Chains A and B, each alone.
Chain A
Amino acid sequence: GNSVTQMEGPVTLSEEAFLTINCTYTATGYPSLFWYVQYPGEGLQLLLKATKADDKGSNKGFEATYRKETTSFHLEKGSVQVSDSAVYFCALYSGAGSYQLTFGKGTKLSVIP
């Protein structure tokens, strides 16, 4: 079956530090990959996505590249801000008639001034 593994948190960084949150996946076929973000007390919001190998998704300074050879979709940001403090979820959609997204367990990021 499909699965998503992301690095366990919590991750604590100082403002302006470089961020990497690792995400690897197992899926049949050619899945679409996503990063969602959840701010405290809220639902999830789509942060970025990539639908095929070597695609790079980007939004709000965050980037992730779909690497089929390593089955990875790591999230990066060059300079984090306090407002980036949230929980980040990696997810995949395998298609093939399934309407389900498979989510990772989430990584909590705290950015301190």
Chain B
Amino acid sequence: DGGITQSPKYLFRKEGQNVTLSCEQNLNHDAMYWYRQDPGQGLRLIYYSQIVNDFQKGDIAEGYSVSREKKESFPLTVTSAQKNPTAFYLCASSGRSSGANVLTFGAGSRLTVL
């Protein structure tokens, strides 16, 4: 079955370390997104990519970086510059098969800074 795979599901990081969250999709979707979810705050967009080798900042891009070298993959790096990185991170994608405005989400990665 097609879908989005995020890994790892749980990740612990010491302060000052960079970590990379993986997101892979086999839906042949063109667009991919990263959201951050905090309790009571809903979802906030970090970065999105409409096509390979191109991406745009969302509402809270500071302290994060992404790459889109392949259509299937959109990894997110949480850098040491992100002041409060403990959160639940969700990757999503959209494409012609689902409708450009309908998102398919992965199961999420929970990052905890020790």
How many chain A residues sit at the interface, stated as a range, is 20 to 34
User: How far apart sit A15 and B53, CA to CA, in the bound complex (Å)?
Assistant: 49
Query: Is A67's beta carbon under 8 Å from chain B?
Result: no
Proximity bits, A38-68, B CB within 8 Å = 1, else 0: 0001111110010000000000000000000
Find the B residue at minimum CB distance from A32: B101
B107 / chain A contacts, CB cutoff of 8 Å: 41-43
A100 / chain B contacts, CB cutoff of 8 Å: 45, 48, 58
The secondary structure that dominates the A interface is strand
Query: Is B64's beta carbon under 8 Å from chain A?
Result: no
Q: How far is the CB of B39 from chain A (nearest CB, A)?
A: 9
Q: How far is the CB of B40 from chain A (nearest CB, A)?
A: 6
How many chain B residues sit at the interface, stated as a range, is 20 to 34
B102 / chain A contacts, CB cutoff of 8 Å: 34, 46, 49
Are A99 and B48 interface neighbours, CB within 8 A? Answer: yes
A99 / chain B contacts, CB cutoff of 8 Å: 31, 48, 50, 94, 100
Among the interface residues B6, B48, B105, which one has the most CB atoms of the partner chain A within 10 A? B105
B108 / chain A contacts, CB cutoff of 8 Å: 41-43
User: How far apart sit A95 and B102, CA to CA, in the bound complex (Å)?
Assistant: 12
Q: Write the residues of chain A forming the contact surface with B, with a CB cutoff of 8 angstroms.
A: 32, 34, 36, 41-46, 49, 89, 93, 95, 99-101, 103-106
